[in-house]
Structure 1
């Protein structure tokens, strides 16, 4: 199912992907060093905040409830934290897939209200009777 979203959600998606990539790198390094030790409070706090932001973006998406929200007081292992961040990445990828212009109907990667309106405005200028 492909749904139309606002461009603000596209921007938020890209911002979250960038933050997630940076945090996954840190968590993966910590996991290599000590996979079964508890993650530091700062790492957990940062991950919990990011996962909360991801959940807010995805809350109305199919399967969003399966995304685990981490409590800032928890102390998961590095291995568990990396798995949570991997799941967040999968959920963000699913979000992008669900809101893509797969058929290239509107000339953009995403199906956004703003993109469709701009496409229609451009068509009106080229084809006045449209």
Structure 2
């Protein structure tokens, strides 16, 4: 994964583009392990949703700036709420971990991409390099 993201950077011509990496479920664990090792992923933003853990105990153990590490978790996501923090590092949604929370308005472990959801809109914002909504709008 590191070779892939570094290859994207190397192959890109012109002005540096905004690179975001999104990991879901155990893909988020792979994303965390890849960013923790070597020279990291070289991403401007990393977003993990439904994560059981990123293989580290604190956001600052990754190469991405903790202000650009986003965590999304649905209230009823079994993986995020019942397996995080057990064996794959500290729960990334724990405030003490040091990541940023992205507002999620979807349900379950796979609803993060539901059409018309704030969850999907927030992912688009992160991909575009725009701060996502972190709380529901009143």
TM (norm. structure 1) is 0.25
Larger RCO, structures 1/2 (Cα 8 Å, 6+ apart)? 1
TM (norm. structure 2) is 0.24
Tell me which protein shows more helix as a share of its residues.
1
Tell me which protein shows more strand as a share of its residues.
2
